Amino acid sequence: MPPLVAIKHRNGVISVPQGTLNDWPMAQFASTKDRGIVVKALGLELTSAFLAVFDTHTLQIIGEEALLRASIRRKALSAADVFKSAQSGGCLVEFDRLCRSLHLMNHLAGPNQRRTLFLNVYPELLMSSGIQHIEAFERILQDQGLSPADIVLEIFESTIPEGQISRLAQAIKNYRARGYQIAVDDYGFLSSNLSRLLALSPEIVKLDRVVINQLSQEHPVQAQKFLCQFVNRLHDMGSQVVIEGINSAEHLRLARESGANMLQGYFLSEPRYLNKENFVNALLS
């Protein structure tokens, strides 16, 4: 069978990876004008929204973070709840592969296919996924004309399991050796663990939105000094820094003067479906 299967739909032809169809033979794919490619599986309707990642200096979009949008009978569900349901149903790995395929398909249907794609993953999946799962995902990448170098795998800092740092670090090492970049998401300076960060050595650290929100309420000079020191510390560890939660002009000013590499936030761009005409290429010049 061919690696990509063309499925006809009233709004066009959708190319779906063969491996995804093997996992989900009953899944129904559709092309929509307002939400991109949508799939129905597990009784859910799934699609992708994307939050732009901006270069701090140029404020040009250099990447997009894929966000799962799930609903049942038009009622929205959180991604965490959906993955828990898949786990309880014994199909977590297959569901994860379905979501990644969906994100890739929507990413490539957008206006700028060569931007870096940020994908959220659960540490348990990285640790439990055997070589077959990794190779299956890479076949999907190849089918879609991408390589691991185009992908950043994001791990939420709060989901890193205690007592399994060594195992997770080894899993990350294996993925990194294949060309993926690793990001630790929602990192802060209150409950976050520096030793875990050192053990994982991520290429990218994304600062929790709470960081910029709290600092913007402090004295401007003190806030700027603290944020610069925090960013410099992460740079010294070899990580690029993304500041999340840029929701005001003051947030943007603090972040741009901090030395951070990348920015995300609703002040710059809200999550959007990539085929919408109003998806921005850059907010500011």
Which H, E and C letters describe the chain, residue by residue? CCCEEEEEECCEEEEEEHHHHHHCCCCEEEEECCCEEEEEECCEEEEEEEEEEEECCCCEEEEEEEEEEEEECCEEECHHHHHHHHHHCCCHHHHHHHHHHHHHHHHHHCCCCCCEEEEEECHHHHHHCCHHHHHHHHHHHHHCCCCHHHEEEEEEHHHCCCCCHHHHHHHHHHHHHCCCEEEEEEECCCCCCHHHHHHHCCCEEEECHHHHHHHCCCCHHHHHHHHHHHHHHHHHCCCEEEECCCCCHHHHHHHHCCCCCEECCCCCCCCECCCCCCCCCECCC
- 101-122 pLDDT, tens per residue? 899 888 887 777 678 999 998 8
Q: How much is the pTM?
A: 0.88
- 120-171 pLDDT, tens per residue? 988 888 887 667 777 877 887 887 778 999 999 999 877 777 788 899 999 9
* More confident: 35 or 194: 35
Q: List domains and CATH numbers for the chain.
A: 47-69+87-263 (3.20.20.450)
pLDDT category of residue 190 using cuts at 50, 70 and 90: low
